[in-house]
Structure 1
Amino acid sequence: MSSEQIAFIVISGIALILILLPLPWHWSARNYGTLLYIGWAFSGTLMYFINAIVWTGNLKNPAPVWCDISAKLAMGLGVALPAVSLCINRRLFNIATMKIVELSPRQRLHQTLIDFGIGLGIPILVMILHYVVQGHRFDIIEDVGCVPCNHLSHCLMIPLVLIWPLLLGLVSMVYGVLAMRAFMKQRRTFSTLLNSKSSNLNVSRYLRLMALAGTDITLDLPLSSYIAYSNLRHGLAPWVSWSDTHYNFSDVNYVPKSLLQEVPGAWATLTINRWALPMACILFFLFFGLAGESIAFYQRVIRRSIALLHLPYRSHAKLQVTASSPQGFVK
């Protein structure tokens, strides 16, 4: 096993734990944008973590159904984080412009449906649309595992798959810039606004959400552009027909790592793709796992755990003291 593979497995395992630590606070606050971020980053990191363990140094196909699922999930993951960043930036913009601080139950449901439509619906839609340009079932790459197959058709591949991360990233960037602009305009009264009865944010949390979304945009746009370029640099095959694209659809290609490394940019693209998810988990933890509310939560958990561990001991000690009373029996 190479040092790169060991590092990926170890760091992915740590990342899976780290991203779950801030989950209780975000769940109680019902921050659906960050909950979707946690869900996508965790599921993607877990998928690549399992694939790295199972397919290290081999090209077998022990779990075809798992490969079907993980290859399709990989397509959604390419869109999911830009979509979730859009959800977060949109919410921050609405708060900064005083549009959704006071929400009725109906308005809250409406905003939640929009968040899920963007952060969950669009990635699922891309996974469904991917079938149109899916040349065969999946590929298995040594050390990486199951990856999706794309039929590079100029008339369908770009609008159905490649354009979505770039489009979502650009829209998210616009919302982020407008949110920051609105925040700077009313920063003196912003603390009062966020401390309103129906808001679960304060200025610190707001700025951390903005920093998270901004960092995602800064990383996602170049990454999406590079992946699109890597897919298009070798040219696009013309679209012939549905039957031509899906001919021998059940085939599975087995690609040794050494062979893929000979293709310019191919191994680099795969490496960036699978490292992006653990890094997203660690990034989220750095913004929220070390925050004041998270540290307070950790302290409460530790205190309760210590109390539970000492409870049997304290009860036993009390019984001994009482039993040694002059009366010689337990009161």
Structure 2
Amino acid sequence: MLVALPIVSFFCVVILGAFAAGPRIRTDVAQLALVLWLLVCNLIQGINSLVWAGNTDIHVPRWCDLVTKVLLGLVVAIPGACICISTRLARIHDDQKKKPSSKRLQYILDGLFCFVIPVLYMCLHFIVQDHRFNILENFGCSASVYPANQAIVLMLLPPMLLGGVAFFSTSQSSFSNLECSFDAHTSASTMSSFPDFSRRASTVMILGSATTIITLFGNFIRSNIIPWVSLAAVHRDFTVIAIVKSDVDIVPIEFAWWSVSSISWLYIGLSIVLGEDIRDAVRSSPKVYASITKWLKAFEPRLPRLHISSRPLLPLHIRRRAADPSSTMSPTPRSPTSTASMRSGTSPVNYPSLYDPSCHPRIRFELLRRQKISFPWTSVTSYSPTTCLQASTEKRWR
């Protein structure tokens, strides 16, 4: 098993997934389609490298029927997305760009070049498909193309045309922007927007050209070219699943596998060096952290509210006396005011009891919490019943 194959694929998936969540790519249909095509193809190759690691067994034929077509659609989806990005760059200098009809036309072009044309290219592959698919150890399943010059030209022509259109349209947009940047009366293009424009145009030109060159080179490394006889001869073994073991057939499959990873790494490098996706991700990280924190606080477990019973709670010394009647307790200290009133013969002042309903809840809670209260007028510390007035006096004394 080649350990590097799934590691490279899934690492690209993680980085491209982070790019897809950025604000610049998320709001642009063409760039989002480009990132999603690369992400899905890397995910497919990572799964294939894990399933067929060290074996050539036929695991899920329907899976291979689907993913081989998706991997073929990538070679036209990337140039198509580059064409859509270049048309958006060209609309920067267009005075009609704010009209609804112009926006509707742009959305139609995005859907056509990013999704419809790749699907048509997948259907075109049925014409030159000589058998169901190929299986290579450690690489998984790949599409099969009849090794004839006519079949190679048919599969090579659409990517070459789209790549050339993307390159020249982006070059024309860059030249127009360079002319308008020195025009003081042009409000659509300013010197502040020119660096962003040039970075995006450079990314599109480099990526589209590299994809076209890699696709062209991948079709010309085939060495077992045979003459085209007829369409019936091509589809004679259409339902056969081929296990690839010869070196002549292994080289094109391995090149196609690594070309997807190479294009992905090229896009990641261009986005880091020329793009502003990393900068936007760093700037938006505090907002993302705040939103995640707010979302987590919504699921934070909260303590239940304490409901204090209206029934009075017995202090500890009363509980002890009730449990042990033979225990002797020290006499309850009296306040100086009550002692003086007893000596003079006058009736003592009736302080409100702790269990009096008129006792303030805060004072009652304080007494129940502290239990042990030291009086300022005596050195005796007791656990005897304390009144609300004594607690408030002791609190003011301190």
1:212: Cα distance to partner? 1.9
1:300 maps to 2:287:
yes
- Give the alignment's TM-score, normalised by structure 2: 0.68
1:116-265 aligned within 5 A: 116-158=111-153, 160-188=154-182, 192-193=187-188, 202-231=193-222, 233-238=223-228, 240-256=229-245, 259-260=246-247, 265=251
Flag the structure with larger Rg. 2
Residue of structure 1 equivalent to 2:258: 272
TM value normalised by structure 1: 0.81
| Equivalent in the alignment of 1:108 | 103
Specify the SS of the correspondent of 1:155.
helix
- More helix, by proportion: 1
Q: How far apart, CA to CA, are the structure 2 residues paired with 1:217 and 1:47?
A: 22
Match 1:14 to one of 11, 15, 28:
11
Structure 1 residues 62 and 28: alpha-carbon distance in aligned structure 2, compared to 1, 3 A threshold: closer
Distance 1:313 1:39, change over 3 A: closer
Q: After TM superposition, give the deviation of residue 215 of structure 1 in Å.
A: 2.0
Structure 2 partner of 1:40: 37
Counterpart residue type for residue 144 of structure 1: F
The 1:278/1:52 distance shift into structure 2, 3 A limit, reads farther
Aligned counterparts of 1:211 and 1:176: Cα–Cα separation in 2: 8
**What SS does the aligned partner of 2:134 have?**
strand
Question: Is the CA contact 2:129–2:146 (under 8 Å) kept in the aligned structure 1?
Answer: yes
Q: State the distance in 1 between where 2:71 and 2:107 align.
A: 25
Q: Which amino acid aligns with 2:143?
A: P
Q: What's the RMSD between the two structures over aligned residues?
A: 3.2
Task: State the number of aligned residues.
Answer: 307
- Percent of aligned positions with the same letter in both sequences? 20
Higher relative contact order (CA 8 A, sep 6+): 1
CA contact (8 A) 1:22 1:289 kept: no
Long gaps (5+) in structure 2: 307-360, 367-398
- Alpha-carbon spacing, 1:11–1:104, altered in 2? closer, same or farther (3 Å): same
3-state secondary structure, aligned to 2:12: helix
Gaps of 5+ in 1: 196-200
Q: Distance in 2 between matches of 1:312 and 1:70?
A: 40
1:90–1:172 contact (8 Å) kept in structure 2: no
User: C-alpha distance in 2, partners of 1:289/1:110?
Assistant: 27
C-alpha contact 2:148 2:226 (8 A) present in aligned 1: yes
Q: CA deviation at 1:7?
A: 2.2
